[in-house]
A and B are shown apart, each in its own frame.
Chain A
Amino acid sequence: MNIHKIADHLNTLADDSETGMNFDCQPISGEVDVLQITVIGREELPIFVSVTDDQILCITYLWGIDEVKPECINTMHESMLEMNIPMPLSSFAKIGDKYVTFGALSISSTFSDIEHELGVLSNNAIEVIDDMSEYLI
């Protein structure tokens, strides 16, 4: 599995995706290949996919630490930890000064698994921002 195979698959899906979402893929070249996946209608929250030796990582950036109301940060962290297990397939993490939600899949996952993961991740991201917006500026 590599990002180009994933991109090819998602592009051939067009309107026939199981999730009902329409994916637009754009590879980003760098030392590590990254696939930027845009869900049509949700362009503001792209999903970044990278493939390593044993897993496929799908990451969506949520908000920066500068967007959190300073007095709310501890409560927000607690809420995020509490939500981490109930949230299907995705987990929270922090990369540098940005909070993210991500899902990790086995390298042997099927295209259908990946598609499902992307759909769930996108829905989770929107829901999380909605739920956590009281802590955000």
Chain B
Amino acid sequence: MSIFKKIMTAIRGGATEIGESIVDSNATRIFEQEIRDAEHHLTKAKRDLTGVMAEQMSASRDVDRLKRDVAEHEGYAVQALEKGDESLALAVAEKIANLESELTTQQQALDSFSGNATRLKELVKKSERQVAEFKRQLSMVKTTESVQKATSAITDNFSSSNSKLLNAKDSLERIKAKQQKFDDRMKAAEVLESEDSDNSLAAQLKEAGIGATSTSANSVLERLKAKQK
């Protein structure tokens, strides 16, 4: 069963009971063990690969050397034939035959090492992918567990503090009202500020004798005198 299905089944089956572990606690241990095993295989495969690659290099050097030897002796044989020394040419030819047989053996060894190296490289890649996959699954299991535990801590906190999660629409209304209040206060502050500046302007005008002047005894007397006329 896939880890997704396992988690879903566990959540649906067991989430009603708060505090009850959603994921089988063995699951974590099993994944951790599987990761350790896969990592162990990986280390071993890498070590084997290093050994095989060293052998491959050595075989490759031997093959090159033998090829050079064969070519060299072929030259000697031709020279011997040119000098008409048939028996020497035969001796060289025998040496070449030996070298060629050795070359065949070494070439076979090289092919085998190369094949092994390729196979081991694939194995390393496969193991690396497997480790990554196990780690991803472990992360899912752990996250599920952690969220379940976090949720129960949150729920405990709410029930112990006697507060509870409010109805979503009520919460929204309250938040909006607070925002509105804040906006209103900002607006009021702006109005107040502009009123203040109006007042200060009026004061300046008054001081300069411009605009409405305050009623004084003299002005009242003037007004009364004007009425008498």
Contact = CB atoms under 8 A, between A and B. Distances in A.
A44 B166 contact: yes
Contact of B149 (A32, A63, A98, A133): A32
A107 to B, nearest CB: 11
A70 interface: no
A61 B165 contact: yes
Given A42-B175, A44-B166, A62-B168, A52 B146 contact: yes
A30 B152 contact: yes
Contact of B182 (A41, A52, A61, A130): A41
B169 to A, nearest CB: 5
B175 A96 contact: no
A41 B178 contact: yes
A50 B157 CA distance: 15
Interface string A64-85: 1001000000000000000000
A136 B48 CA distance: 63
Contacts of A98: 165
A108 interface: no
B174 interface: yes
Q: How large is the interface on A (under 10, 10 to 19, 20 to 34, 35 or more residues)?
A: 20 to 34
Most chain A CB within 10 A, of B143, B147, B152, B182, is at: B147
Contacts of A42: 175, 178
B154 A36 contact: yes
A44 B156 contact: no
B142 interface: yes
A28 interface: yes
A48 B150 contact: yes
B157 A28 contact: yes
Contacts of B169: 67, 129, 133, 136-137
A112 interface: no
Nearest to A94: B11
B171 A34 contact: no
Contacts, number: 85
A42 B179 CA distance: 9
Interface string A18-51: 0000000000111110101000011011001010
Interface string B116-152: 0000000000000000000000010011001101111
B78 interface: no
B201 to A, nearest CB: 33
Nearest to A55: B143
A58 to B, nearest CB: 11
Contacts of A61: 165
Question: Which 7 A/B pairs are nearest by Cβ-Cβ distance?
Answer: A30-B153, A44-B171, A63-B168, A32-B149, A31-B149, A50-B150, A129-B172
Given A44-B171, A63-B167, 11 more contacts: A34-B153, A34-B154, A41-B175, A45-B175, A50-B150, A55-B143, A61-B165, A95-B147, A96-B151, A98-B165, A136-B168
24 contacts: A30-B149, A30-B153, A30-B156, A31-B149, A31-B153, A32-B150, A32-B153, A34-B150, A34-B154, A41-B182, A44-B166, A44-B171, A44-B174, A50-B150, A52-B142, A54-B139, A55-B143, A57-B150, A59-B147, A63-B168, A64-B165, A67-B167, A67-B168, A126-B175
